[in-house]
Chain A
Amino acid sequence: GAGAFVALGLPLRASASLADDAIATFTGGAEMADSGITLTAPEIAENGNTVPVEVSAPGAAEILVLATGNPTPAVATFKFGALAASQTASTRIRLAGTQDVVAIAKMPDGTFAKASSTVKVTIGGCGG
């Protein structure tokens, strides 16, 4: 039943420009490759308050994660040290609604790579 009373609506893009600003700050406006980084997130969030995401970018120095539709897009920055066995990390994040989550890897040679994934946050409540 659609009896949930949460504020959900269309895919959120309201703060996309804020996200663009955050990306520009991180990359200095550099081009971003679309390979070399993977972002794993569920298609549908079981709970918008705790959405599992995993980022992986072999060799990266840092990975920035943004939720482009949140009022404040910043989520986390992972900096990998000498003893990181792989440039992979997982966490759980809050999403204010259906939106794209974006991850950007900064490589040691100064290049960047980007991945994004749409996560649906839904009222749900019906089934077979």
Chain B
Amino acid sequence: GNWGRLAAQQSLTQDQLLQFDTFGNVSLIHVTDIHAQLKPLYFREPSINIGVGDNRGKVPHVTGADFRKLYEVEDGSPSHYALSSGDFSALAAGYGRVGGLDRVATVINQIRSDRPDALLLDGGDTWHGSYTCYHTEGQDMVNVMNALKPDAMTFHWEFTLGSDRVNEIVEGLPFAALGQNIFDAEWDEPAELFPPYKFFERGGVKIAVIGQAFPYMPIANPGWMFPEYAFGIRDENMQSMVDEVRAAGAELVVCLSHNGFDVDKKMAGIVTGIDVILSGHTHDALPEPVLVGETIIVASGSNGKFVSRVDLDVRDGRMMGFRHKLIPIFSDVITPDADVAAVIDEQRAPYEEELSEVIGQTASLLYRRGNFNGTWDDVICDALISEREADIALSPGVRWGPSLLPGQDITREDIWNVTSMTYGAAYRSEMTGEFLHVIMEDVADNLFNPDPYYQQGGDMVRTGGLGYRIDVTKPQGERITEMTLLKTGEMIDPAKTYQVAGWASVNEGTEGPQIWDVVENHIRQQGTVTVDPNNSVQVVGA
């Protein structure tokens, strides 16, 4: 971590980042899980991302130094900073921010200058995750993405805008809104607004792009916000769609997926005939595609931090080869695209004053990613306990939300970047120790069930005031033991009732102040936030 900022940046150039020997006859550009992050930010990749069952120890479940060893990434290098955890604050000081959709635009334009008819595909989780996105009900993101001219997208958090709003936006989209697994809930028929696939003719190749929306929308998010729609993996229907497009002459079949990486891997082993899966949802960033049978799976990170370029050689109706690059968006190295920068400024202008208000400072690195806790979540849990006068806090294990470096101001925008959602009420309720255990086991199974089709792709619910031991190799009901109330050091009594505060309940009618207000009040009180190391979760079997 001795890299001076200047030294670091001098070692990187835009040309070097974008260097690519154009290959074959088709180019795909993949962005996903932007979570409404229009501006450059810091984003620390997870240090703990445990794989279970067949995926134990396999990518993307390799982190930190193990990751660097696996991909032969030099310590302290740009790839170390972009792709792995470890020494993050020091490297961030050297390499600076990442992302920013005006920089992403520059990269896309550069690829299009090599290959004018490259397909730009957005994997979803686009219209969610910021102050401006919340206040414009996604319009800021729609306007900026339209300026990037995507060819298709699929969906997850978008639906938490509510189905009326989603329908309204989708009806006006100048590109395809795809989802072979988006069905009308009443008659179990494909939803008309979301076609299963779209054909493109590029470089003389007939390409079919099949959409796969997040399968577990009504479980992971409030189903009452979009009751007309049903989802699911529907791999049988996926197979029929692949067969249908092949029969209609598709020479290249691309699946634009929001399944999550392990689910995509399993699906690729069941459904035959998909050439490329562009994977989203689990926010993994992989420097190389993973091969399952004859399908390549590409993971392109999150929060606008990466763009994937995949060049393909398609001949005689077959994918003969590929060349791939995961391009990290180093914000200080890549020149922003002026037109898109102007569109971004235009979206933010009405809110600039609220966004930039400084609420406090942080003395610690604040981040979210990791299976069990993140320092940002520790701050949120502390806020819930103190502001809501609770014994225990529960905070959802979502994977979005940028990081802040030690010494940075915390603005209102920063707080919203890690809390913004349409169901952010901070509830307070009584729960028995037994019920708390049921919740913990339930969420743990959604993460550590050895069958990926039973996983939802989030991280473990974060706990404040509650410690526990987890054995990830055990079945549901036996993973969580030694639940301890931290303030007294006593074991949680199944029969006893505890005051629990949390947020992001999927239940309709949940009451309480909005989480961003709770966190803002807490940070104001603290002035400077310091997060102590969190040793409350003991992990076994990883």
In their complex, do chains A and B touch, with some C-beta pair under 8 Å? Answer: yes
- Chain A contact residues, CB within 8 Å of chain B: 1-5, 8-11, 40, 42-47, 52, 90, 98, 120, 122-128
Q: How far is the CA of A125 from the CA of B451 in the complex (A)?
A: 19
Q: Output the least CB separation between A46 and chain B (Å).
A: 4
Residues of B within 8 A of A123 (CB): 438-439, 442-443
Task: Please give 11 more A-B residue pairs, beta carbons under 8 A apart, in addition to A3-B505, A124-B220.
Answer: A4-B505, A4-B507, A9-B441, A43-B233, A43-B454, A44-B454, A47-B223, A98-B476, A125-B221, A127-B457, A128-B398
Chain A residues within 8 Å of B399, by CB? 127-128
Give a binary string over B157-184; 1 marks a CB under 8 Å from any A CB, 0 the rest: 1000000000000000000000000000
Q: Is B219 within 8 A of A44, CB to CB? A: yes
By a CB distance below 8 angstroms, the chain B residues around A125 are 219-221, 396, 443, 504-506
B300 within 8 Å of A (CB atoms): no
Asked if A128 contacts B125 (CB within 8 A), the reply is yes
For window 464-520 of B, CB contacts with A under 8 Å fall at 476-477, 502-507, 510
B506 contacts A43, C-beta separation under 8 Å: no
Quick one: which of A5, A10, A122, A128 contacts B219, CB cutoff 8 A? A122
* B367 / chain A contacts, CB cutoff of 8 Å: none
Task: Please tell me if the beta carbons of A126 and B476 are within 8 angstroms of each other in the complex.
Answer: no
A92: min CB distance to chain B, Å: 9
Q: Is the CB of B458 within 8 A of A126?
A: yes
A127 near B506: Cβ-Cβ < 8 Å: no
Chain B residues with CB under 8 Å of A98's CB are: 476
List of A residues within 8 angstroms of B396 by Cβ: 1-2, 125-127
Residue B154, interface by CB 8 Å = no
- B454–A127 contact, CB under 8 A? no
Set A5, A9, A124: member contacting B456, Cβ < 8 A: A124
The answer to whether A124 and B505 touch (CB under 8 A), given A43-B454, A52-B188, is no
Interface band, chain B: 35 or more
A47 near B453: Cβ-Cβ < 8 Å: no
A126-B281 in contact (CB<8A): no
Q: Is B40 an interface residue (CB 8 A)?
A: no
Can you name the residue of chain A whose Cβ is closest to the Cβ of B478? A10
Q: Are A1 and B282 in contact (CB under 8 A)?
A: no
Q: For A10, list chain B residues within 8 Å (CB).
A: 441, 476-477
- A43-B454, A127-B456, A128-B281 given; A122·B442 CB < 8 A: yes
- Beyond A2-B502, A128-B282, whether A11 also contacts B476 by CB under 8 A is yes
Q: Whole-angstrom distance between the alpha carbons of A128 and B46 in the complex?
A: 13
Given A44-B456, A127-B156, A128-B458, residue A3 in contact with residue B476 (CB < 8 A): no
Kindly state the separation between the CA atoms of A2 and B394 in the bound complex, as whole angstroms: 7
Cβ of B33 within 8 Å of any chain A Cβ, yes or no, is yes
**Sampled A-B contacts (27; CB under 8 Å):** A1-B461, A1-B503, A1-B505, A2-B443, A3-B394, A3-B502, A3-B504, A3-B510, A5-B507, A9-B441, A10-B441, A43-B451, A43-B453, A46-B232, A52-B188, A120-B454, A122-B442, A122-B445, A123-B443, A124-B219, A124-B220, A125-B219, A127-B156, A127-B220, A127-B281, A128-B458, A128-B459
B309 within 8 A of A: no
User: Which residues of the other chain, A, contact B156 by a CB distance below 8 angstroms?
Assistant: 127-128
B403 interfacial by beta-carbon distance below 8 Å = no
Give the docked Cα–Cα distance between A46 and B400 (Å): 23
User: Residue on B with the closest CB to A124?
Assistant: B219
CA–CA, A127 and B398, complex, Å: 5
A46 vs B282: C-alpha distance when bound (angstroms): 19
How far is A14 from B456 in the complex, measured between Cα atoms in Å? 26
The 3 closest A-B pairs by CB, nearest first: A3-B505, A1-B504, A124-B219
Q: How far is the CA of A124 from the CA of B216 in the complex (A)?
A: 9
Name the residue in B221, B440, B507 with the highest tally of chain A Cβ atoms < 10 Å from its Cβ: B507
Q: Is the CB of A1 within 8 A of B219?
A: no
Residue of B nearest to A92 (CB): B188
In the complex, which residue of chain A has the Cβ closest to the Cβ of B260?
A128
Please tell me if B30 contacts chain A, counting CB pairs below 8 Å: no
Question: Given contacts A11-B476, A126-B456, are A1 and B446 in contact (CB under 8 A)?
Answer: no
In the bound complex, what is the Cα–Cα distance between A40 and B235 (angstroms)? 12
Q: Which residues of A contact B236 (CB under 8 A)?
A: 40
Are A1 and B220 in contact, with the CB atoms below 8 A? no
Q: Which of A1, A120, A127 contacts B445 (CB 8 A)?
A: A120
Q: Does B111 make an interface contact (CB < 8 A)?
A: no
Q: Which of A44, A47, A124, A125 has the most C-beta atoms of chain B within 10 angstroms of its own C-beta?
A: A125
Q: Which of B125, B232, B395 contacts A1 (CB 8 A)?
A: B395
Contact B218 A47 (CB under 8 A): yes
Give chain B residues whose Cβ lies under 8 Å from the Cβ of A52.
188, 230
* A124 and B506 within 8 A (CB): yes
B231 within 8 A of A: yes
Is there a chain A Cβ closer than 8 Å to B95's Cβ? no
A1-B396, A3-B427 in contact; A126/B505 too (CB < 8 A)? Answer: no
* Cα A5 to Cα B223 with chains together (Å): 15
Residues of chain A contacted by B221 (CB below 8 angstroms): 125, 127
* Bound-state Cα–Cα, A4 to B464, Å: 18
User: How distant is the Cα of A10 from the Cα of B480 in the complex, in angstroms?
Assistant: 13
B contact residues around A3 at 8 Å (CB): 394, 427, 502-507, 510
User: Which of B216, B440, B458 is close to A44, meaning CB atoms less than 8 Å apart?
Assistant: B216
Q: How far is the CA of A123 from the CA of B125 in the complex (A)?
A: 22
Contacting pair A1 B223 (CB below 8 A): no
For the complex, give the distance between the alpha carbons of A47 and B236 in Å.
21
A3 to B509, CA, bound (A): 12
Q: Are B457 and A128 in contact (CB under 8 A)?
A: yes
How far, in angstroms, from A10 to B474 measured CA to CA in the complex? 13
Are B219's CB and A46's CB within 8 A?
A: yes
State A90–B187 Cα separation when bound (angstroms). 11
CB distance from B116 to the nearest CB of A (A): 33
Check if B429 is an interface residue, CB within 8 A of chain A.
yes
